[in-house]
Amino acid sequence: MAKVIVMTSGKGGVGKTTSSAAFATGLALRGFKTVVIDFDVGLRNLDLIMGCERRVVFDFVNVINGEAKLNQALIKDKRVENLYILPTSQTRDKDALTKEGVEKILDELRKDFDYILCDSPAGIEKGALMALYFADHAIIVTNPEVSSVRDSDRILGVLASKSRRAELNQEPVQEHLLLTRYDPERVERGDMLKVDDVLEILAIPLLGVVPESTAVLRASNIGMPVTLDEKSNANQAYTDAVARFLGDTVEHRFMKPEKKGFFERFLRRTA
């Protein structure tokens, strides 16, 4: 049975698109046929992060409106087997997505894919509601920072009341916390919320901690999901998170500052 996952956060700019690209790539690398859908109508970005922006012909809204077939709009990734992207439209029409339209496409994708990952726009308005409505799993992307944590709490409330599972009184959407842009050194200094603080407040299971990493910007600049950047710690963090999602037991890492040599520490102090 295909599973629908939403990557959501409430707050903008916390790393949903980065995480969607990385997570979808990770699932495909594990052999699951995966499609990642950009729900951010009007602000298409997933195509750039996935590096397929020059291959977009038709989009999600074209398919909903019957202007294109689903397989015409799906873009097959050139690097990873089993990975597909469904780009969003650049239209300014906020009502371009309808529940019926989205449902029709998801039902069609379900027949063919193992995982359908929805990259949600920020906010708790229509676009975000559409992205989460049909979800079986929700990955809550949160930064260790007060407004992000508060907005995550709100989106958890929305999931519990406005998702299809909630409306139909089915088993609730399964929630997972993905704490990103974590800086263990600042945590050590007492300047940043700890993993445990965020967990205590939000009270949902921890899927992974992704450290603040220069590899993320580098990867986005060249249109490569960070999961393909072999050496980066962000890649390892996302790969671990995917493994946990699939049921593997993997110890959490990147929660403590990296051990630094004397020389490096000296440089940092004088910098």
Partner 1 sequence: MSIFNFFRPPPRKSVAEEAKERLQIVLAHERAAGSSPDYLPILQRELLAVIAKYVQIDEKKVEVSFERGGDYSTLEVNIELPPPSNDKAARARGTGPVTGGDAKKPPAAAAKRA
Ligand X SMILES: Nc1ncnc2c1ncn2[C@@H]1O[C@H](COP(=O)(O)OP(=O)(O)OP(=O)(O)O)[C@@H](O)[C@H]1O
| Site residues, ligand X (CB under 6 A) | 9, 12-18, 40, 121-122, 180-181, 210, 212-213, 216-217, 220, 234
205 binds, among ligand X, Mg ion, partner 1, none (CB under 5 to 8 A by kind): none
Check: CB of residue 140 under 8 Å from CB of residue 28: no
CA angle 235, 241, 242 (to 5 degrees): 90
Is residue 193 part of the contact set for partner 1 (CB under 8 A)? Answer: yes
Rounded-to-integer distance, Cα 9 and Cα 148, Å: 8
How, if at all, do strands 75-76 and 34-38 pair?
unpaired
CB of 175 to ligand X, least distance (A): 17
Q: Does 166 bind partner 1 (CB under 8 A)?
A: no
Spatial strand order of the sheet with 3-8 comes to 75-76, 83-86, 34-38, 115-119, 3-8, 137-142, 174-182, 206-211
Q: Is 181 in the site for Mg ion (CB under 5 A)?
A: no
The verdict on 11 binding Mg ion (CB under 5 A) reads: no
- Burial bucket for residue 194 (CB in 10 Å: 0-12, 13-18, 19+): middle
Residue with Cβ nearer ligand X (2 or 21): 21
Q: Are strands 137-142 and 115-119 parallel, antiparallel or unpaired?
A: unpaired
**One of 53, 153, 183, 185 touching partner 1 (CB under 8 A):** 153
Smallest separation (angstroms) from partner 1 to the CB of 43: 27
Please, which residue, 70 or 118, has the CB nearer to ligand X? 118
Say which entry of ligand X, Mg ion, partner 1, none residue 210 contacts (CB below 5 to 8 A, set by partner kind). Answer: ligand X
Nearer to ligand X by Cβ, of 44 and 165: the residue is 44
**In this structure, are residues 178 and 202 in contact, taking their beta carbons and an 8 Å threshold?**
no
How buried is 81 (Cβ within 10 angstroms: 0-12 exposed, 13-18 middle, 19+ buried)?
Answer: exposed
Task: State in angstroms the smallest separation of the CB of 119 from partner 1.
Answer: 26
Q: Is 17 in the site for Mg ion (CB under 5 A)?
A: yes
Q: Judged by CB under 8 A, does residue 74 bind partner 1?
A: no
In the bound complex, what is the minimum distance in angstroms from residue 146's beta carbon to Mg ion? 21
* 83-86 and 75-76 beta bridge pairing: antiparallel
To the question of whether residue 99 is assigned a binding role by annotation, the answer is no
212 binds, among ligand X, Mg ion, partner 1, none (CB under 5 to 8 A by kind): ligand X
Q: Enumerate the known binding-site residues for ATP.
A: 11-18
